[in-house]
Structure formats: C-alpha cells, structure tokens
Amino acid sequence: MSSNTPIKLIVGLGNPGPQYADTRHNAGVWYLEALARKHNVFLQSDKRFFGDMARIKFAGEDVWLLFPTTFMNRSGQAVGTLAKFFKIKPEEILVAHDELDLLPGQIKMKKGGGHAGHNGLKDIHAHMGSNEFWRARIGIGHPRSLNLQQGVADFVLHRPSSEQQQTIDKSIDVLLKHTELILKGQIGQATTHIHTECA
C-alpha cells in the first residue's frame, strides 16, 4: 500500500442539513470538520462545486477540503467537478466515509476496490471514471454486528449511542494525527499507524 503521491483533495461524505449532522452516515464529514478546525479554516458553501469547501496549505501546496452538499448519492457531482477544475487525479484524492463492515473505533485505509453498496463511493466512481482514489473507512458498525434490529438504511441515518460516538471520535483523532503523512503521500506509513492504533 505504498504511495508517494501527495493528496490534494480530501472529501468528507455525508448528508447536508442539521437533521443529518450527527447521524452515522456523516462520519466522513466529522473527520473533515475536525481537520478544518485543526487548520483554523472554515468550510464555506461554493455553488460552483456543489459543496462546502476550504483550502489549506501543506508543504507550500494547496489542499482542498470538500463536503459535497448534494446528498450522499450524488457526491460524485461535487468531487468530479472540483477534480476536473483543479486537474486533480483520482490517486490524489482521499475520501473519508462511514463503513458498515468495521466496528466503531476501527479505521481502515484502502485504495481502489468496490463500493460495497455505499452510494457516495458509487457516484464518485461514476463521475471520476475511476475507483483509484484513496478511502479512509471509518467504522460505524452494522446493526447485526451491534445486535440491533434496525434496517441498514435506518441505522446509518440515526445517531450512534454516546459510547459508540466516543469510540468513533477517538478513531477520528487517530486519523487526524496521521493526516500529515497522508498529505505527504506516505500513505503506507500512515496506514500502519492507523490500523495499529484503531485495531
């Protein structure tokens, strides 16, 4: 999983609006907002790119932060438009998203692969014409793995329990801690740290 390609765009997936802000499906946005706070920038609406955006400087280069506000299943419209405008390649993109197949507290880094039914990833793949972007898969658990009777669609659109929320927040802190390595393109090294600390 080595890569020496610096990341130029970090996307946090979720749904817009206060009614969705604290729901599991917005785990990617929680990370993006934490990253923006760390760099003292604010995500602001930019209708050209169908989302809320901010720019940070890293090693003298622009890095864009993007929260597509088109609703999850149309996330690719924002990512594709911004990537095309700034000539950003798929391998220069990190997409942070909620992951049903990982328990709360786990985060796995991955490049390429399928979307496992995640509509945000599916739409980004469609708009980019490539699945060779990086993913930070933020574990939220699955109703079955957490012994809940909810359906998946209902589960992702509800808040985690306070205990699960704390566990997810801690894992996001680990991802934040190693984001500098990711931005440098040292993703293999970052992955080792993240997978160890979020085991």
Give pLDDT, residue 116. 63
Q: Is the pLDDT of residue 136 over 50?
A: yes
Mean pLDDT (whole number) for 78-106? 95
> What is each CA distance from 152 to 71, 86, 95, 155, 159, in whole angstroms?
17, 36, 21, 5, 13
Give pLDDT, residue 115. 64
Give pLDDT, residue 2. 47
DSSP for 121-180 reads: HHHHHHHHT---SEEEEEE---TTTTT----HHHHHTSPPPHHHHHHHHHHHHHHHHTHH
Q: Which domains does the chain have, with CATH numbers?
A: 9-197 (3.40.50.1470)
- Could you read off the pLDDT of 54-64 as tens digits, one per residue? 999 888 889 99
pLDDT-derived band of residue 113, with 50, 70 and 90 as boundaries?
Answer: confident
Q: Is the pLDDT of residue 185 over 50?
A: yes
Report the alpha-carbon distance of residue 48 to residue 14 in Å, rounded.
Answer: 19
Q: Is residue 7 within 8 Å of 86, Cβ to Cβ?
A: no
Going by their DSSP bridges, the two strands 44-46 and 134-139 should be labelled as unpaired
Give pLDDT, residue 148. 86
Tokens of 78: 């924002």
Within 10 angstroms of residue 38's Cβ, the number of other Cβ atoms is 12
Report the alpha-carbon distance of residue 19 to residue 22 in Å, rounded.
Answer: 7
Catalytic residue among 25, 97, 118, 178: 25
What average pLDDT is seen over the chain?
91
Mean pLDDT (whole number) for 85-111? 94
- Could you read off the pLDDT of 140-172 as tens digits, one per residue? 999 988 888 889 889 999 999 999 999 999 999
Going by their DSSP bridges, the two strands 61-68 and 51-58 should be labelled as antiparallel
- Could you read off the pLDDT of 17-33 as tens digits, one per residue? 999 999 999 999 999 99
Q: Is the pLDDT of residue 132 over 80?
A: yes
Candidate from 12-16, 110-114, 173-177, 187-191 with smallest mean pLDDT: 110-114
Give pLDDT, residue 177. 95
Active site residue 25: yes
pLDDT-derived band of residue 3, with 50, 70 and 90 as boundaries?
Answer: low
Within 10 angstroms of residue 164's Cβ, the number of other Cβ atoms is 18
